[in-house]
Amino acid sequence: MIARLCREAGVPEAALVLEERSTSTEENLRFCLPLLRAMGAGSVVIVTDGFHAPRARLAARRLGLAALGALRSDSPRVPLSANRVKAGLREVPAYLWYALRLRG
């Protein structure tokens, strides 16, 4: 889905590299580290929704990457709904888990 949004925003196909093994944000970043290092990249732009962005940036920083968050163009911008509350509440314990687990 994010690759599609990047294409629609004009990102060239050659600039997109899909990592398909991960099952979490942390794994995704870890699996991408060798590629990023080979490219000489010390920073990343993480395209995600507003609820997930702080945790994704934390995971990247813990791996030594400077990270900016970019909100998906289809991120909800509507008044609170049950789904948005659920998504927000999910991120609080997940952020704490990452903060405690990914030390150093």
Q: Which domains does the chain have, with CATH numbers?
A: 2-101 (3.40.50)
pLDDT in tens, 22-44: 998 889 999 999 989 998 988 88
Structure tokens at 82: 């049950």
CA distance 87 to 65: 25
- What pLDDT does 2 receive? 77
Cβ atoms 23, 32 nearer than 8 A: no
Mean pLDDT for the stretch of residues 34-62: 86
CA distance 2 to 19: 12
Instruction: State if pTM tops 0.95.
Output: no
pLDDT in tens, 63-95: 888 998 776 555 555 555 667 677 777 777 777
Task: Indicate whether 97 pLDDT > 70.
Answer: yes
43 by DSSP, 3-state: which? strand
Cβ atoms 56, 46 nearer than 8 A: yes
- What pLDDT does 72 receive? 58
Task: Indicate whether 59 pLDDT > 70.
Answer: yes
Helix (H) or strand (E) holding 97: helix 82-101
- What pLDDT does 53 receive? 85
